[in-house]
Amino acid sequence: MSRDIVITNARLLGRDAVDIRVSGQQIVSVEPTGATTASAADRESGRDADLVIDGSGLIALPGLVDLGAHLRQPGLEQVETVTSASQAAALGGFTAVHALPDTDPVADTAGNVELVHRLGLDAGYVDVRPIGAVTVGMRCDRLAEIGAMAHSTAQVRVFSDSETGITDPLLLRRALEYVKPFAGVIAQHAQDPLLTKDAEMNEGELSSRLGLHGWPAVAEASVIARDVLLADHVGARLHVRHVSAKGSVDVLRWAKQRGIDVTADVTPHHLALTEELIAGYDPRYKVNPPLRAQADVEALHEGLADGTIDAIATDHAPQPPEAKECEWAHAEPGMLGLQTALHVAQAALVDTGVLSWGDLARVLSSAPAAIAGDAEQGQQLTADAIANLVLVDPLGSTTLQRDDIASLSWNSPWLGEQLPGRIVATISRGVPTVLDGSLCTPEAVRTWI
């Protein structure tokens, strides 16, 4: 028997107030609040619903879709599990997360991606979509079982060698050719390993002053230039992960103007933070690629606003305490992102007027779903759509405390900081995973299903 949810008086994409009715996994109606029909009155009163949510003052968005998160399982379950990451994602308003393949063992076979997929189904909070490795063991010497992963029960469509990247242009060309027939996409981390050897932060005046090895922005842009030309030559799809610098945005804009089939994403932290924070040598700010200068951040904002950059992706990277509570040189890169992405994006983009709430839904939901070829996510909130949605209080605030973090790690730069917005509810395929700002228990999720 299907379960019904009624949401009243929520502002759809931050605009007009609507009443949304969900039955089972599907949205069955979206009508203007105050409709005079008897059926609308019933929906407003909630007399025939299992759950009624008062959406007054809340914004309704499609469920968020993350194009790249390090879920760490299998292999590093003490740092993160698929379940803990899924819970963090639900608290962040996500209904789908794409799991990067840098696990142990690497997700480079049909069996390995199916394991991650099953773990996501068992957790039940979000759709977990495995990303398959492009090369065996991500060692960049021979192609992995791309076809087998694509035809597995996980139905993999996104392939990446995570933060390793594919440095061999011939191997990248072959991978692009391989995924083309089934509309797959190669998601590339753009980094020239020779130009970034021993690099610790963005190359510039600050790196010289701090005595840290510089990471030149051209090491990213030059690889993007090579890769878009290869994608154009093959006629295949390329996705560039976590763009961080102005020069990279310029290359992507040039490529799109030429009609090359390339997409790109940027992380919330590259939209909100700059290299100046590294002056304190706090390892929480060590990421890959590194935080850049203010001019780069402004270029990223502009690129996201004009469509040069298509999506925001968290690059959620939990690390154990010993990897962050140490000297800068020995710290591992990465920070948490799933639980704070929407808040950081609101602060950096919506509250500053760079994007509207509708634009934010595009870059955090519909665009990443389209890039990943996932037709069941990122849908507009209309009748007959799958019920993936999040309700946000834009005037509320969230202060992330250590006990509030669902992840098994706590390497967040926003720990203890007040962020704008409060995620009131997340509904994944018609199942409430977050209600009144709190995570629903696994038992409650299973009972609702």
Query: Would you name the residues annotated as active-site residues?
Result: 315
Report the alpha-carbon distance of residue 342 to residue 196 in Å, rounded. 31
Alpha helices (runs of H) in 155-289, residue ranges in sequence order: 169-179, 205-210, 218-234, 246-257, 268-272
Q: What are phi and psi of 396, to 5 degrees?
A: -80, -175
Sort strands 17-23 and 4-12 into parallel, antiparallel or unpaired. Answer: antiparallel
| Closest among 338, 334, 360, 443 to 126, alpha carbons compared | 338
Report the alpha-carbon distance of residue 311 to residue 362 in Å, rounded. 8
Report the alpha-carbon distance of residue 13 to residue 125 in Å, rounded. 23
Q: List Cα–Cα distances, 133 to 27, 152, 241, 262, 267, in angstroms.
A: 35, 14, 14, 19, 21
Token duo for residue 247: 């020069």
Report the alpha-carbon distance of residue 317 to residue 301 in Å, rounded. 23
Exposed e or buried b for every residue in 313-351, given b needs 16+ CB within 10 A? bbbbbbbbeebbeeebeebbbbbbbbbbbbbbbbbbbbe
Strand partners, 423: 392
Report the alpha-carbon distance of residue 37 to residue 41 in Å, rounded. 6
Cα-Cα-Cα-Cα torsion 327, 328, 329, 333, nearest 10 degrees, comes to 120
* SS3 of residue 99 by DSSP: strand
| Closest among 124, 138, 140, 178 to 156, alpha carbons compared | 178
Sign of CA dihedral 168, 173, 177, 180: positive
